[in-house]
Amino acid sequence: MLQINIELQEAATGILGAAPKAAQLRPQIEKELPYFDLSQLDKLVTYARAMTFAQTNYLGASTRSEQLPALIERGVAARELLLSDATALAHRGLLDGKKLTELKGSVGYLNLASDLGVLVTILRERWTDIANRTAIQPSELDDAERLFGEITEAVAARNAQPAKVASAGEERQRAFTLAIAAYDSVRRAVNYLRWPQGDADKYAPTLFANRGSRSSAHKDEPVQPIASPAQPNNPVVPQIATTPIAPGMPGASPFVDS
The DSSP string of 177-219 is: HHHHHHHHHHHHHHHHHHTTTT-HHHHS--TTGGG-HHHHHHH
Residue 193 sits in the same domain as residue 73: no
The angle subtended at Cα 222 by Cα 218 and Cα 227, nearest 5°, is 125
Supply the pLDDT for residue 223: 31
Residue 18 sits in the same domain as residue 146: no
Residue 117 sits in the same domain as residue 171: no
User: 93: domain range?
Assistant: 67-157
Residue 84 sits in the same domain as residue 147: yes
Q: State the amino acid at position 34 in one-letter form.
A: P
Residue 152 sits in the same domain as residue 77: yes
Per-residue pLDDT of the chain (258 residues; tens, 9 = 90+): 888 888 999 999 999 999 999 999 999 999 999 999 999 999 999 999 999 999 999 988 887 777 888 999 999 999 999 999 999 999 988 888 888 888 888 788 999 999 999 999 999 999 998 988 899 999 999 999 999 999 999 998 888 888 989 999 999 999 999 999 999 999 999 999 999 999 999 999 999 876 544 433 333 333 333 333 344 444 444 444 444 545 544 444 444 444
Please count the structural domains in the chain.
2
Supply the pLDDT for residue 110: 92
Residue 59 sits in the same domain as residue 122: no
Q: Is residue 49 part of a domain?
A: yes
Supply the pLDDT for residue 239: 45
* Contact criterion met (CB below 8 Å) for 148 and 121: no
Residue 22 sits in the same domain as residue 87: no
- This prediction's pTM: 0.60
Q: State the amino acid at position 198 in one-letter form.
A: G
